[in-house]
Structure 1
Amino acid sequence: MSEKKKIVSIEDRIPKLKQARKKKANRRLIFYLSIFFVLISIIVYLQSPLSNIHRLEVKGNDFLPKETIIQSSGLTTSDNMWRIDKDEAIKRIEENEEVEKVSISRGFPATVTIKVSELGRVGYLQLDGSYRALLTNGSISEKKWDQPKSDAPILYGFSDDKYLDEMAEELDQLPASITRLISEIHYKPTEDNPYVIQLFMNDGMEVQGTIRTFATNMEAYPSIAAQLDPEVDGILHMGVGTYFEPSEKKEEDKESEEGQ
């Protein structure tokens, strides 16, 4: 005896079809309402103080104070972080002569970060009774100091821009650990060599060198100075060749003492 197939009438299927369509319509409604409320929330957020800048961060600055950079940018915590004109703020910050490059980024929830790349100070020049910084590109800062900072040597006698630019380039190549050992650099050209310089080191050593090979030669200074007798005065020549020349006065005094 064959099993009879159960026949479902159209009247029985209609309620189930209606229920399925209702569920589908409800899900669609919930989806559109969710999008609507998300858009409303975004609009409310953008119009409210919640979207204002809560924190301004500055990174990469060694010489310019954080406050100076922020003030230059024109950005404040009352600004909407999504409406700020980044290009205009960058342009204003780059007006600082010690700034080479700037970038501005936004971060969640309400942080704006200013990243700067500075032109380093490689020396100080005494001009008109005050000190001004020599920057890595050879330019001289407009800012003045009553006393030079200890982060770079003082330069004397560099009246020719050509040699000053070359000196700045060489100083920029020198490691900061060695730059800090130099107290003064004097430009001492001769008829035969317009590149001669005289250095006075913080350890009391006097060094004579040349602008052209300054950075390369001076990298060896710490190891050479460590081998010299600190009690003997003289000049350490670090030009074409490297040798120590004791001062004549010291040698004469030494010979006089030995003769007694």
Structure 2
Amino acid sequence: MTDKLRKKKKRKKKNYLLRLLVIIAIGVGLYFLITSELFDIDSVKIKNNNYYTVEQVKDKSGIKIGENIFKLKKNEIKDKLLKDPYFANVIIKRKLPATVVVEVTERTEKAAVIYNGAYIIIDSDGMVLRKASAEPKITVIQGLTVKKAKEGKPLEVEENSILADTLRMLKSMESSDLFFKKIDISNVIIKAHIYDELICEGTPENLSQNIKNGNLETALYEMYSKGIKRGIIKVGTDNYCSFDPNVE
């Protein structure tokens, strides 16, 4: 009985050692496989970019062709890209055996705030994207008292509520064909310039309402058809609009 137990224990030890050797062999094989050239990055695909080119996003990511795909530090690359204010979100995926996919969500330039002779470019949430010396081809906002403008941070102004209302008004323009060249918010009644001398006057709330219901677009279309490029459209409550051909 004792001999049988001894033989049984020996067989168990042999089986254990055999399984251990198999596991080690598989592990070594997997190591050499995943570190082989088969998994060296040979392609980086960029998706949903608009402001930056594909090559610019690749350069900013720092992903290197020839690097092993399993050594790719996705979180570090994501954090690096998110330091750029134009990126709202970044998703990085491995597509085996050798492709990396970078999906970006970009912030869009919505307005430019005049400050110290320059332009602070912001998105629809008031996030500062960059500063420019030349006037950009987006709506220019003047009349704000800027307290702090740091890239990647919300623009800080004394007239926060007016800025928020104005940005909401600009958002309401996205579904229409309207574009304001310049908005002066020096007073409670803002002046939104279609042309230099064709101006809409009203509160941001009233302008937004008349943009959403199509009243302002209809009024402007009638003026365009008549060749009118000068005057003031006064926008009030209850869908009220009036036109004054005289510009101060």
Query: TM-score, normalised to structure 2's length?
Result: 0.71
Q: Which amino acid aligns with 2:140?
A: I
> Residue deviations 1:23-78, cap 9 Å, x none?
xxxxxxxxxx9xx89x84x5444223331221212222222333343333222213
User: Paired residue for 2:183?
Assistant: 185
Asked if 2 retains the 8 angstrom alpha-carbon contact of 1:138 and 1:169, the reply is no
User: Paired residue for 2:5?
Assistant: none
How many percent identity over aligned positions?
Answer: 18
User: Paired residue for 2:68?
Assistant: 80
User: Paired residue for 2:191?
Assistant: 198
In structure 2, relative to structure 1, the CA distance for the partners of 1:73 and 1:237 (3 Å cut) is same
Q: Distance in 1 between matches of 2:112 and 2:200?
A: 19
Asked if 2 retains the 8 angstrom alpha-carbon contact of 1:98 and 1:135, the reply is no
Q: Which amino acid aligns with 2:51?
A: F
In structure 2, relative to structure 1, the CA distance for the partners of 1:183 and 1:177 (3 Å cut) is same
User: Paired residue for 1:64?
Assistant: 52
User: Paired residue for 2:222?
Assistant: 227
Shift of 1:186: 0.8
Per mean C-alpha deviation after superposition, the further-off stretch among 87-96 and 125-134 is: 125-134
User: Paired residue for 2:165?
Assistant: 166
Asked if 1 retains the 8 angstrom alpha-carbon contact of 2:142 and 2:186, the reply is no
Shift of 1:204: 5.9
Q: Distance in 2 between matches of 1:128 and 1:218?
A: 31
User: Paired residue for 1:155?
Assistant: 141
Which has the higher Rg, Structure 1 or Structure 2?
1
Shift of 1:133: 0.6
User: Paired residue for 2:37?
Assistant: 49
SS at the partner of 1:182? Answer: coil
SS at the partner of 1:155? Answer: strand
Per mean C-alpha deviation after superposition, the further-off stretch among 126-135 and 170-179 is: 170-179
User: Paired residue for 1:94?
Assistant: 82
Q: Which amino acid aligns with 2:220?
A: A
SS at the partner of 2:222? Answer: coil
Q: Distance in 2 between matches of 1:126 and 1:232?
A: 25
Query: TM-score, normalised to structure 1's length?
Result: 0.68
Q: Distance in 1 between matches of 2:45 and 2:123?
A: 25
Q: Distance in 1 between matches of 2:44 and 2:54?
A: 10
SS at the partner of 2:181? Answer: strand
User: Paired residue for 2:149?
Assistant: none
Q: Which amino acid aligns with 1:197?
A: I
Asked if 1 retains the 8 angstrom alpha-carbon contact of 2:39 and 2:96, the reply is no
Q: Which amino acid aligns with 1:81?
A: I
Unaligned 5+ residue runs, structure 1? 1-32, 251-260
Unaligned 5+ residue runs, structure 2? 1-21, 146-157
In structure 2, relative to structure 1, the CA distance for the partners of 1:214 and 1:44 (3 Å cut) is farther
Q: Distance in 2 between matches of 1:76 and 1:177?
A: 43
Shift of 1:81: 1.5
CA RMSD in angstroms comes to 3.0
In structure 2, relative to structure 1, the CA distance for the partners of 1:226 and 1:172 (3 Å cut) is closer
State whether structure 2 residue 210 is matched by structure 1 residue 217. Answer: yes
Shift of 1:234: 1.7
> Residue deviations 1:142-171, cap 9 Å, x none?
x22232332x21111122341223322332
> Residue deviations 1:104-148, cap 9 Å, x none?
11224422111111222210122233222112221223x222323
